[in-house]
Each structure stands twice: as structure tokens, then as C-alpha cells.
Amino acid sequence: MLEAQARRRQQRSGLLLALPAIIWLGLFFLLPLGIVGVFSFLTREAAGIVSLPFTLEHYERTFGVFSVVLWRSVWISVVSTVICLLIGYPLAFFIATRQNNWVRQLCLFMVVLPFWTNFLVRTYAWRILLGDQGTINAILQGLGLIDAPLTLLNTPFAVILGLVYGFLPFMVLPIYASVDRFDFKYVDAAHDLGANDIKAFFRVVLPMTLPGVFAGSALVFIPCVGAFVTPDLLGGTQGLMIGNLISRQFGQSLNLPLGSALSVTMMLIVMVALLAYVRLGNRRLGG
Amino acid sequence: MLLALLGGVLFAQDKPKVEPWVCPPGFEGQKLSVFNWSTYIAEDTIPNFEKACGVTVDYSIYESSEAMLSKIIQGNPGYDIVVPSGNTVGRMIELDLAIPLDKSLIPNFANVSEALRDPSYDPGNVYSIPYQWGTIGVGYNREKVGYEITSWEQVWNYPGKVAWLNDPRAIMGIGLHLLGFDPNSTDADEIAQARDFLISKGGNVVAIAGDDGQVLLERGDVDITIEYNGDIVNLGYECECDTFAYVVPEEGSVIWVDSMMIPKDAPNVALAHAFIDYILHPQVGADISNYTTYASPNQAAIDLGLIEEVYLNDPAIYPDEKKLERLFSIDHVGSEVEVIYSNAWDELLIFLGR
């Protein structure tokens, strides 16, 4: 009897503690989300106004003409995430396995160092590096490796490069945390049982550090799908992504319903991808 | 007689040709917020105004009339002066986003060229007064292209990299014009045809430049760019080379006038009027146009010889009669039709460059 009362009291005080967060999320996340959802079904009026009746027009356009861009956003994000993983895992593994604590701290510091400079400035810098007469082409031509400049800027390649560059730390840090927690006695055990290094890594180390891989992948994939600065500055006409279309609808075009429909669609893409990923992860971790 | 004439000339050269602009009293310590196109004002225009009136000016820039309008339309965030092009002036008036100007506070309005007064989108200049004017055409790198460009066909068929201007109505207007339609068509079918025509001609487009095509051209990222004339002309004068050329293609293109307006809910309407009068002062207007290499609507500045001769005689800045005939303006078509244009532009962006 007393015990139940105590639990109820505990629950109530827990709710009280969470109240600020609940109000915050309700007011600034759920409510706007609801508005975006409703807007996406409303009719567009001139001058940035919306009105009844409800219509599916904006979703028809989203999955019609704009599907090219949806598809491009997804594949660019997937490729960027995979590259981040392929670079980020070995890097995180390298850092986490340094014996010297000072070296480890220095490495981590260097991973987050780029954040000290504004993202926009760093992306503009890529424009100068990647241009036809940019630094990279100048070096390659100077070394006599190529005759004509390579087309690097204003391509999907440039967008992927920019995204990987920008979001790599989000992959490295969670994986580092996972590897850091990993007890290397398991590897010794695997060796004792006859596994070589490669086998020990894929059968023991990788499965046990998967939580970091999943967290890192999600942290990279989500901002990639919504990116708009990177494709805007580096992608040209070939690298247009859904984020660019959304920003255009809320800015220049003043087509709030279409912008809302595109936003909702983007959220659905992210949600479906994450759910699939989590299920995959649970199966791997569970098995 | 001769001596007197000579003396007069010498005397005239000794002192400035016009008296400097005098700020009306009572503005000391106040603030003005100006929202203008990028690369569109002389370096000392704002500091001189601040000094003359004892005020501070917040100067922000935008890359397209649409970008400016999208900020004003959701409630003026505090701008006192905006400088849209003609069709956007019309849109702002239609949407009740502008304040009528009090001409008694703008005596220098008398300096504005007759030809540029009383436009169709704002009869009687009730809401807007010209700032600068120019054309849209083709800027190109002579060395890279290897021949002189004279027509739009050459732009469409160029095998290298091309940039277009992020000015939806102007580019669509060029497409409509080339198809033989009215560049200000209000017919959804014609607009759709122009969109498809432009997509079919835009296979070599690598970027849609937001008023910075001259940077892409200078950096060698594109060989050809559709741009506003002044930005390209400026490039040529700055590098003192023949590398960069500007041409209005023979099939015709866009002529535009950008105008100063006071948006609704402007915090300092009185100082905004003073600012417009200041800009219309012959020397101030001349300084701006001498710096930006766009054409000045200030007839007094031209008559007084304040605009540099070399610019005045440059047909890329002041087109001759024959060229003027080939130019058309982008007019206000009403917000309903603007929606058709902006939808068409969204679709064009997706399919351009393949």
C-alpha cells in the first residue's frame, strides 16, 4: 500500500521534472509540425497565403515532377553516409586504440577542430578548391597528370565531398565511444580459440561496436537528406537536393503548401530509413 | 571675349560642378535601414549620407527581387528602402506593400530622365523612383569561347559550361520572346511551352547564379553567363583586358529599371524620403553609376558631365537606339500569373542541365 503510494508520488514528480521539456517540445515542435502537416494539404494563394479547400496537389507534384530530386537526395545521402562510415570507422578505431591518453585527446580535438570555423565559410572554400581553375586542378595540371581541368564543382560528386567533409565528425565520435568501451580481452579470447585478426574483427569487434555505427550513420544520414547549403554552393544544377527546393518554396517562391508537402515527405523518408535501420540493428544485435 | 570664355572654363573646373547635397535638419542620431541588390552602390555613398545627416545606416543586400519580396511580404522586418525591378514594383503596389512617396520631400526628382518617368507598373511614380537601369544579356570569356557571341542560339549550343541568372521572370520572358510570344504572357500554356523550350536549350547549364555570374565567369567556372550588364561590364573595366565581353543577343533581351520604394511599415519614412532625394542628387547618382557601371536615370548627372565619358559612350551600358528597339521590359502580370511563372521556374530548375 505504502509502496504503491511512493511509486505514484515518484511518477508524479518525474512528470513534473519533464514538464518544461514537454511544454517546450509541444509548443515548438509538435505544434509547428502539425501546422506544416495541415498546410501541406491546403490550396496555395498568391502572395504567400494559404486557403481552403484541401488538396492533394502538392503531394502529386512532390511525387511527380519533384521525384527526381527526392531520389537524388536519398542516393547522395546514402553514398555520403557509407563513405563517412568507411573513413570514420578506421579513424575512430585508430584513435580509440592509442595507448597514450594525450595522443587520443589530441586526435579527438583535431576531429572537432573544423567546427571552429563557420560551415558556410568552409563550404565556400571548397568552391575555390574545386573550381576549373581552382587549387586542385592547378596542382594536377602542374604535375602534368591531366591536360584539361577536371569538372569537379557543380556536380553530385562535389556535394558528396562537401557532405562527407562536413559530417564526418558525427560518424567518428559515436564509433569512438563504442570502440573505447570495447574490452580487448574478447579479441585475446578469439585468438585463443583460433581466429585470425580479420576473423576476430568481423566476428567480435564489429558486432560489439555496432551501436556506435548505427548512431553515427543516423547522425550523418539525417542532416544529409535535409542539406541545402552544401548542394546550393557546390552542386549547381546537377546537385539540386530536396533541401534546396524546400528553402525556395518558403523563400523566393512563397509556396508554403508545396514547401510543407516537401518537408513532410522528407521527414517520412528519414523516418522510414531510420526504422528500417533500427530493425536491422536490433536483428544484428539480438542475433 | 575669348579670355572671358577661357576664364569661365577654368573657373568652372576649379570648383565642383554642383553644390553638395544638404540634409534637411532634424535627423541627427536616427537610423535608416536600406535593403538593396548586391554590388549595387558606390563605396562612399552610404558613409557620405551618414555624415551629411548625422545618422547610421543599416545596409543589407539581396540577390533577387523575389528574395527581397519574400521578406517584405511576411511583414516588413524593418527596412526603410528597397530597390525592386519593375515587375516587382507592380507586385508590391498590388499587394499593398508600399507607401506613397511625398514628392515635396524629394525635390531632386526633377533630375530623373523624362524617358524613365511614369512607368506602366507605377503611373505617375506614386510609389517608386528609378535608381539605376540596365539590360540582361550574355557575358562571356572571349579567350575560352574563341569567337564573338551575337545570338541566343550560340549560348544554347555552346559545348562548354554556362550559367543562367536566377531571375525567373526575365529568363522565362526571354524564352517566351524567342518562341514568338509576349514576354509578359499570362497564358499558362505559353508559359509551359517557354519552360520546356528553355529546358531543351539548357543542357549546358551548370549553375543558376544568384546575381554573381560575374564571379563564376571571372573564376573560370563557366565560359558564358546570362547576367545583368553592369556586373560584366565592370569585370572588363576592372581587369583592363579584353577577356570579358557583354552582348545583348540580336534576337532581343530584357531592359529593366530598378526603383527605390519605401515598404509598408518602414520605421523611418521621413529619413527614407531624404535618402531618396540624396540618391537623386546629380553627384551622388553619378558616383554610384561610375562605380557600378550601370546606367544612370539621372539626366542632370549626364547633362552636367558627371558620368565618366567612357561609360557614357559604352553601348553595353547605354544601348543605342537600334539596340533599344530589340529590348523588352518585364511587366507586372498580377500575382495569380506570378504563381504560374514560379511553378514553371521550379520545374525548370529540376530538369536543367541534363
Contacts of B161 in chain A (CB under 8 A): 132, 151, 154
What are the angstrom distances between the C-alpha of B29 and each of A30, A276, B266, B271, B273? 44, 61, 17, 11, 16
Predicted local distance difference test score (pLDDT) of residue B16: 63
> How far, in Å, CA of B57 to CA of B202, rounded?
41
Q: How many domains does chain B have?
A: 2
Residue B125 DSSP symbol: G
Predicted local distance difference test score (pLDDT) of residue A9: 78
> How far, in Å, CA of B263 to CA of B96, rounded?
9
Please state whether A141 falls in left (phi above 0), alpha (psi between -120 and 50) or beta: alpha
Query: Nearest C-alpha of chain A: how many angstroms from B314?
Result: 30
Of B149, B145, B205, nearest to B175 by C-alpha is B205
Contacts of B64 in chain A (CB under 8 A): 252
Predicted local distance difference test score (pLDDT) of residue A3: 75
B139 and B233 in a single domain? The answer is yes
Nearest to A47 among B73, B207, B221 (CB): B73
B333: three-class secondary structure by DSSP? coil
Instruction: Identify whether B4 is part of a domain.
Output: no
Residue B39 DSSP symbol: S
Instruction: Identify whether B190 is part of a domain.
Output: yes
Note down the domain range covering A133.
66-286
Q: SS3 string of chain A?
A: CHHHHHHHHHHHHHHHHHHHHHHHHHHHHHHHHHHHHHHCCCEEEHHHEEECCCCCHHHHHHHCCCHHHHHHHHHHHHHHHHHHHHHHHHHHHHHHCCCCHHHHHHHHHHHHHHHHCCHHHHHHHHHHHHCCCCHHHHHHHHCCCCCCCCCCCCCHHHHHHHHHHHHHHHHHHHHHHHHHHCCCHHHHHHHHCCCCHHHHHHHHHHHHHHHHHHHHHHHHHHHHHHCCHHHHHHHCCCCCCHHHHHHHHHCCCCCHHHHHHHHHHHHHHHHHHHHHHHHHHHHHHHC
> How far, in Å, CA of A241 to CA of A130, rounded?
19
B208: three-class secondary structure by DSSP? strand
B81 and B154 in a single domain? The answer is no
Task: Cell numbers for A110, please give them.
Answer: 583535431
Nearest to B221 among A68, A153, A250 (CB): A153
Instruction: Identify whether A24 is part of a domain.
Output: no
- Rg of chain A (C-alpha set): 24
Contact A133 B354 (CB under 8 A): no
Contact A245 B354 (CB under 8 A): no
B contact set with A (CB within 8 A):
64, 66-67, 69-70, 73-74, 95, 161, 168, 202, 205-208, 219-221, 334-336, 338-339, 342-343, 345-347, 349-354
Do B307 and B289 meet the contact criterion of CB atoms below 8 Å apart?
Answer: yes
Contacts of A153 in chain B (CB under 8 A): 221
Model-level pTM greater than 0.80? yes
Question: Does B1 score more than 60 pLDDT?
Answer: no
Q: How many domains does chain A have?
A: 1
CB pairs under 8 A between A and B: 82
Contact B339 A251 (CB under 8 A): no
B125 and B272 in a single domain? The answer is yes
Number of helices (H), then strands (E), belonging to chain B: the values are 16, 10
Contact A236 B354 (CB under 8 A): no
B164 and B26 in a single domain? The answer is no
B102 and B223 in a single domain? The answer is no
Nearest to A132 among B220, B338, B343 (CB): B220
Instruction: Identify whether A219 is part of a domain.
Output: yes
> How far, in Å, CA of B153 to CA of B144, rounded?
17
CATH of the domain at B210: 3.40.190.10
Instruction: Identify whether A201 is part of a domain.
Output: yes
A237 at B interface, C-beta within 8 A: yes
Instruction: Identify whether A90 is part of a domain.
Output: yes
Instruction: Identify whether A11 is part of a domain.
Output: no
What is the band of B354 on the pLDDT scale with cuts at 50, 70, 90? low
Contact B342 A240 (CB under 8 A): no
Angle of helix B86-94 relative to helix B335-351, nearest 10 degrees? 130
Question: Does B2 score more than 50 pLDDT?
Answer: no
Instruction: Identify whether B194 is part of a domain.
Output: yes
Query: Nearest C-alpha of chain B: how many angstroms from A150?
Result: 11
Nearest to B64 among A44, A128, A252 (CB): A252
B170 and B227 in a single domain? The answer is yes
Of B209, B106, B127, B220, nearest to B167 by C-alpha is B209
Predicted local distance difference test score (pLDDT) of residue B12: 46
Complex ipTM: 0.82
Largest CA distance in chain B: 72
Contact A252 B95 (CB under 8 A): no
B213 and B203 in a single domain? The answer is yes
What are the angstrom distances between the C-alpha of B28 and each of B54, B57, B80? 5, 12, 17
**Which of residues 106 through 165 in chain A touch B, CB cutoff 8 A?**
128, 131-134, 151, 153-154
Contacts of B349 in chain A (CB under 8 A): 237, 240, 248
Instruction: Identify whether B153 is part of a domain.
Output: yes
Predicted local distance difference test score (pLDDT) of residue B18: 86
B37 and B108 in a single domain? The answer is yes
Predicted local distance difference test score (pLDDT) of residue B39: 86
Instruction: Identify whether B148 is part of a domain.
Output: yes
- Rg of chain B (C-alpha set): 21
Residue B264 buriedness (CB in 10 A; 0-12 / 13-18 / 19+): middle
B58 and B92 in a single domain? The answer is yes
Predicted local distance difference test score (pLDDT) of residue B205: 94
Query: Nearest C-alpha of chain A: how many angstroms from B244?
Result: 16
287 residues of chain A, pLDDT tens digit each: 667 777 777 777 788 888 999 999 999 999 999 999 988 898 887 766 777 888 888 898 888 889 989 999 999 999 999 999 999 999 999 999 888 889 999 999 999 888 888 888 999 999 999 988 888 988 998 898 888 888 889 999 999 999 999 999 999 999 999 998 888 888 889 888 988 888 888 888 888 898 899 999 999 999 999 999 999 999 888 889 999 999 888 888 888 899 999 999 999 999 998 888 878 777 765 54
Q: Considering only alpha carbons, which residue of chain B is nearest residue A253?
A: B342
B142 and B197 in a single domain? The answer is yes
Predicted local distance difference test score (pLDDT) of residue B6: 47
Beta strands in B91-235 (DSSP E): 129-141, 162-165, 205-209, 224-228
Phi, psi angle pair for B266, to nearest 5°: -65, 135
Q: Considering only alpha carbons, which residue of chain A is nearest residue B342?
A: A253
Do B120 and B98 meet the contact criterion of CB atoms below 8 Å apart?
Answer: no
Instruction: Identify whether B50 is part of a domain.
Output: yes
Contacts of A250 in chain B (CB under 8 A): 70
Contact B205 A66 (CB under 8 A): no
Question: Does B10 score more than 80 pLDDT?
Answer: no
Predicted local distance difference test score (pLDDT) of residue A285: 59
Instruction: Identify whether A20 is part of a domain.
Output: no
> How far, in Å, CA of B153 to CA of B72, rounded?
38
Contacts of B352 in chain A (CB under 8 A): 237
Give the other-Cβ count within 10 Å of A68's Cβ.
Answer: 13
B101 and B86 in a single domain? The answer is yes
Question: Does B4 score more than 60 pLDDT?
Answer: no
Contact A131 B219 (CB under 8 A): yes
Query: Nearest C-alpha of chain A: how many angstroms from B90?
Result: 13
Instruction: Identify whether B211 is part of a domain.
Output: yes
Instruction: Identify whether B7 is part of a domain.
Output: no
Task: Cell numbers for A156, please give them.
Answer: 553530385
Contact B220 A133 (CB under 8 A): yes
Contact A237 B207 (CB under 8 A): yes
CATH of the domain at A135: 1.10.3720.10
Average per-residue pLDDT in chain B?
91
Do B87 and B121 meet the contact criterion of CB atoms below 8 Å apart?
Answer: yes
Of A219, A224, A251, nearest to A235 by C-alpha is A224
A236 at B interface, C-beta within 8 A: yes
Note down the domain range covering B110.
14-133+257-312
B195: three-class secondary structure by DSSP? helix
B181 and B205 in a single domain? The answer is yes
Instruction: Identify whether A170 is part of a domain.
Output: yes
Query: Nearest C-alpha of chain B: how many angstroms from A153?
Result: 8
